[in-house]
Amino acid sequence: MKTASDELLEQREDTQQGRYLTFYLGEEIYGIEIGYVTEIIGMHPITKVPEVKDYIKGIINLRGKIIPVIDMRLKFRKEPIEYDDRTCIIVIDVDNMTMGLIVDKVSEVISIDGENMVPPPSHKSGIKNKYLQGIGKVDSDVILLLDCKMLFDEGEE
């Protein structure tokens, strides 16, 4: 038998289905399923951690919780840029693991239905798409939809 809290959780998940927080890295637009997003914060002081990959910028203290932060530009092998007042951290939670994603700027929350989504290009095309779960089409924009679970994967890159 379902409890009231189970029903509320299901309703919340239903309303988040197909909704993505969009952000920019340069001119490219990316999307993350809104259900993974905990909050969006401005840049915080980052404590460097020795002997980690270059895209792992370090850790932040967010209201007493220590969170690793990664620079999405470096993760996707883009040129680093100077952080500015539009740079922010998207805090995500995947399977009870929390991480901050440093992005150039956050755009908006959008809905993308199944008919406006296509699978990522196949590996045969030469495009490495380990982090993509799909590609969304909204008006004239192409949105690269990220697989948040793969962001935590530390396998070979």
- Domain span at 49: 4-151
Q: What is the pTM of this model?
A: 0.84
Asked, for residue 81, whether it belongs to a domain, the answer is yes
Select from 85, 150, 110 the least CA-distant residue to 22. Answer: 110
16: CB partners within 8 A, 6+ apart: 33, 34, 35
- Residue 20's pLDDT is 96
**Sheet architecture: strand order including 132-138:** 105-111, 19-25, 28-33, 141-146, 132-138, 117-118
Q: Give the pLDDT of residue 151.
A: 82
CATH classification of the domain holding 126: 2.40.50.180
Contact between 87 and 103 (Cβ < 8 Å): yes
Q: What is the pLDDT of residue 142?
A: 93
Is 110 contained in some domain?
yes
Within 10 Å of residue 63's Cβ, how many Cβ atoms?
6
Token pair in block for residue 65: 């919780």
pLDDT, position 152:
76
Residue 157: inside a domain = no
> Average pLDDT, stretch 56-79?
95
Q: Is residue 66 part of a domain?
A: yes
Question: Do residues 38 and 98 touch, judged by C-beta distance below 8 A?
Answer: yes
Written as one string, the DSSP assignment of 120-140 is: PPPGGGT---TTEEEEEEETT
Residue 91 has pLDDT above 80, yes or no: yes
Is residue 18 situated within a structural domain? Answer: yes
When pLDDT is averaged across residues 80-104 and rounded to a whole number, the result is 95
C-alpha span between 51 and 5 (Å, rounded): 43
Lowest mean pLDDT among 3-17, 105-119, 143-157: 3-17
Which one, of 78, 116, 93, lies nearest residue 36 by Cα?
Answer: 93
Residue 156 lies in a domain: no
- H or E element: which one contains 149? helix 148-151
User: Cα 146 to the chain's mean position, in Å?
Assistant: 6
Q: What is the number of structural domains in the chain? A: 1
